[in-house]
């Protein structure tokens, strides 16, 4: 793994909208990586992982800053194509809850993990949003696995670790069985599933640690792995997306 230390942020004093409550953000912490800039997923202490996909779009995280110095550590490894390593670039953008940007950095991986360290200073407490932005492509799927960790002047006091209900959201069925058309499907936090044509179903957590779920819709049943921010994939072949996350 290669590592590079970035120059301090051009805007060294980071502030955020005080009216935006961190407690409100924490209430939504038990969900998948957010695709909504208005409702970013709170970071937890330690390493936070995800998979970014150009076919899905950017993901949004947030954290509570305190006054003082902090360090953002980012790692990124590009996904392969047909078993071959490919080059991929992501952009990490730091801004406040109003959308004001404080800085951004690009990370490029050719298959091997790349680590960057981004130091900065927060002028006062507030909410900071980190946007993970994949390269735009409607023809070739690009992206990869990443991790985020923020240390220093940061508070994680009110953040909850996501549970099985992180599967909740809207997906597009990409692999269509004979008895069910490809369509939008909504996974609800209470364990129920509803397809756009009205077909009902359920989801349950089979292996919480491995993010393996059992999904039943009508007469169809799958055993799938949740890749937060990307979708539900074949547990035996994670390159095969069965339910793709919808923004």
Residues 52 and 143 reside in one and the same domain? yes
Cβ count near 185 (within 10 Å): 23
The last residue of one of the domains, among 155, 190, 217, is 155
**DSSP conformational letter for 25:** H
pTM over cut 0.85: no
Q: Tell me, what's the pLDDT at 214?
A: 96
pLDDT for 107: 93
Reported as a pLDDT band with limits 50, 70 and 90, residue 11 is: very low
Q: Based on the domain organization, do 19 and 72 belong to the same domain?
A: yes
DSSP string covering 73-123: EEEEEEPEETTEE--EEEEEEEE-TT--EEEEEEEEESSS-EEEEEEEEES
CATH code, 168: 2.40.128.10
DSSP 161-223: PP-GGGG-EEEEE-S--TTS-S-EEEE-TTSEEEETTS-EEEEEEEETTTTEEEEEETTEEEE
* pLDDT at 239 exceeding the cut of 90: no
102 plus 202 within the same structural domain? no
Q: How confident is the model at residue 82 (pLDDT cuts 50, 70, 90)?
A: low
Number of domains forming the structure of the chain: 2
- Examine the domain organization and report whether 67 and 179 are in the same domain: no
70 with 177, same domain: the answer is no
Check residue 84 and give its pLDDT: 67
Whole-angstrom distance, CA of residue 168 vs CA of residue 215? 12
Parent domain of 204:
164-245
Please check whether residues 129 and 238 belong to one and the same domain: no
Cα distance between residue 221 and residue 210, in whole Å? 19
The rounded percent of the chain whose pLDDT value lies above 90 is: 48
108 and 208 share one domain? no
Q: What residues pair up with 58 in beta bridges, in sequence order?
A: none
Token representation of residue 97: 């809850």
* Interval 104-149: pLDDT, tens: 889 999 888 999 999 988 888 999 999 999 987 667 778 888 999 9
Q: How high does pLDDT run on average in the chain?
A: 82
**What would the pLDDT profile of 28-80 be if each residue is shown by its tens digit?**
333 457 888 888 989 999 999 888 888 888 999 999 999 999 999 999 999 86
Asked whether residue 241 falls in the same domain as residue 216, the answer is yes
The answer for residues whose C-beta is within 8 angstroms of residue 221's C-beta and 6 or more apart is 214, 215
**Domain shared by 76 and 196, yes or no:** no
Residues 192 and 233 occupy one common structural domain: yes
The per-residue pLDDT for 161 is 74
């Amino acid at each position: 793994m290669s590592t590079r230390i970035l120059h301090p942020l051009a805007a060294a004093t980071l502030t955020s909208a005080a009216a935006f409550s961190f407690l409100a953000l924490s209430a939504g912490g038990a969900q998948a990586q957010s695709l909504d800039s208005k409702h970013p997923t709170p970071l937890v202490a330690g390493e936070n992982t995800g998979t970014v996909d150009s076919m899905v779009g950017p993901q949004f995280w947030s954290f509570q800053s305190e006054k003082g110095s902090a360090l953002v550590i980012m790692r990124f490894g590009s996904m392969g194509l047909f078993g071959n390593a490919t080059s991929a670039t992501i952009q990490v953008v730091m801004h406040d809850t109003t959308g004001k940007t404080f800085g951004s950095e690009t990370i490029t991986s050719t298959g091997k993990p790349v680590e960057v360290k981004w130091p900065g200073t927060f002028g006062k407490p507030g909410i900071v949003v980190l946007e993970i932005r994949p390269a735009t492509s409607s023809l070739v799927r690009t992206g990869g696995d990443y991790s985020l960790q923020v240390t220093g002047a940061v508070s994680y006091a009110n953040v909850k670790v996501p549970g099985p209900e992180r599967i909740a959201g809207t997906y597009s069925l990409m692999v269509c069985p004979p008895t069910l058309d490809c369509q939008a499907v909504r996974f609800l936090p209470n364990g129920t599933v509803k397809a756009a044509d009205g077909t009902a179903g359920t989801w349950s957590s089979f292996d919480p640690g491995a993010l393996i779920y059992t999904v039943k819709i009508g007469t169809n049943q799958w055993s799938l792995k949740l890749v937060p921010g990307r979708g539900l994939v074949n547990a035996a072949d994670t390159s095969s997306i069965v339910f793709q996350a919808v923004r």
